[in-house]
Copies of this chain bind each other. A is one copy, B any other.
Amino acid sequence: MGERQKLRMGLVGGGPGAFIGPVHRIAAELDGRCALVAGAFSRDAERSREAGAAFGIDHARAYAHFNQMIEAESKRPDGIDFVVIATPNHLHLPIALAALKSGIPVMSDKPATATYEEALELEAAVRSSGLPYGLTHTYAGYAMVREARALFAAKKFGAIRKVAVEYLQGWLSRRLETTGHKQAEWRSDPARSGPGGAIGDIGTHAFHLLEYISGLKVTAINATLRCVVPGRRLDDDCNAFVRMENGVAGTLACSQIAAGELNEMRVRIYGETGSIEWRQQDPNRLIVKWLDGPEEIHHAAASYLGRDALAAARVPAGHPEGYLEAFAVLYREFADALVEWKQGNPQPLPGTLPGIEAGVRGMRFIERVIESNKREGWVDF
């Protein structure tokens, strides 16, 4: 058996002050399958070099523009195996297109693009390229999310009847975007974030998780958007009714002005004989409630869990895993798929890993929410 070669990744974004760029680096390398070797961390060449140095990569491979990176790396014998996109949303499409055009697979932060039209364009490009494309809907990497998904796939609770998903934060309760707060700035700027505020930033996560766990598609939505903080240019609060396949109905809520909430994503799905509840802030426990029996708490890494959940665990039950580990599960799956793809499997991405289809759904979600809010009523999906 030979030495396992790590997959080489080139990161776009993640310069000084960035939050999600370093997270991608940790997540990608955590299971020892990938290594950050290049990056276009900032448009400012000096800042990009600084970031590269902080990441410990070769000076020559810290580029000032993603096009430079893609061009230069394509010529190297040890060039990058895939591009990671971790920039504000408006750059997702051009970067992804550039990478695909050069034959380089893509792992992208969500949302896939800035608008629904862009998402369709990207989908076409991904399909015609035949290249692996992964989307880091982080929460899909949690072991207990996968356990919940498996329970519904196995119809453990009879038919699904009712859903309630919410993602509540409070950090934009003040108008941070005018105080120099980098994260708040671009997220509330339509030019960089796209037409969605909270719905793009966190609503898409809630929407994805709902379809991901339930195995059902949303078919119609009735959403109300608010821009609660005076002067803000994008929505910071959303409540929606959803209709799903098979007559399922429920609610989806997201907010960034829920003062006191940190990162409260909670999913509840009710079937005929029981239900599940999962909270991102308590991710190693899945609450399972039964119509006729005791409430249960299923613990991550416990022996009674299903295959998907156990595959996502690294440490024994009772040793908490968190956000970075969930993120890393996606990278591990992507790395596995990339190896398979290199070996000739044309469609190596597993169903558990969000890809371009999830990307298009997410952008459709944003577009439909905005349309529903405008019409003040239901819109089909």
Interface residue A169 (Cβ < 8 Å from any Cβ of B): yes
Residues in B with CB closer than 8 Å to A270 are 170, 255, 257-261
B255 touches A162 (CB 8 A): yes
A306: interface (CB < 8 Å): no
Question: Are B289 and A259 neighbours in the complex by a CB distance under 8 Å?
Answer: yes
A184 to B378, CA, bound (A): 33
Where chain A touches its partner, the secondary structure class is: loop
| A102 at interface, CB cutoff 8 A | no
Most buried by B among A53, A257, A321, A323: A323
In contact, A319 and B317 (Cβ under 8 angstroms): no
Q: Is the CB of A289 within 8 A of B261?
A: yes
Residue A59 contacts which of B3, B241, B316 (CB distance < 8 angstroms)? Answer: B3
From B162, B171, B253, B314, A237 is in contact (CB under 8 Å) with B162
- A253 to B325 CA separation, bound complex (whole angstroms): 31
Residues of B within 8 A of A347 (CB): none
Chain B residues whose C-beta falls within 8 Å of the C-beta of A50 in the assembled complex: 1
State whether A283 and B53 are in contact (beta carbons under 8 Å apart), knowing that A294-B288, A295-B260 are contacts in the complex. Answer: no
Number of interface residues of A (CB under 8 A): 96
Quick check: is A352 within 8 A (CB to CB) of the other chain? no
A260 touches B291 (CB 8 A): yes
B294 touches A299 (CB 8 A): yes
- 0 or 1 for each of A13-36: is its CB under 8 Å from B? (1 = yes): 000000100110110011110000
| B-side contacts of A166, CB under 8 Å | 164
Report which residue of A237, A249, A259 has the largest number of chain B beta carbons within 10 angstroms of its beta carbon: A259
Chain B residue nearest to A35 in the complex (CB): B56
**Closest-CB distance, A99 to chain B (whole angstroms):** 23
Among the stretches A77-85, A106-114, A203-211, A273-281, the one at the interface with B is A273-281
Residue of B nearest to A298 (CB): B294
In chain A, residues 293-325, which have Cβ atoms closer than 8 Å to a Cβ of chain B? 293-299, 302-304, 314-325
- Which 7 pairs from chain A and chain B are nearest by CB? A260-B289, A263-B318, A262-B318, A320-B322, A319-B323, A322-B322, A294-B296
Interfacial residues, chain A to chain B (CB-CB below 8 A): 1-6, 19, 22-23, 25-26, 29-32, 49-50, 52-59, 157, 161-162, 164, 166, 169-171, 173-174, 222, 224, 226, 228, 237, 239, 241, 249-251, 253, 255, 257-264, 270-275, 280-284, 288-299, 302-304, 314-325, 376-378
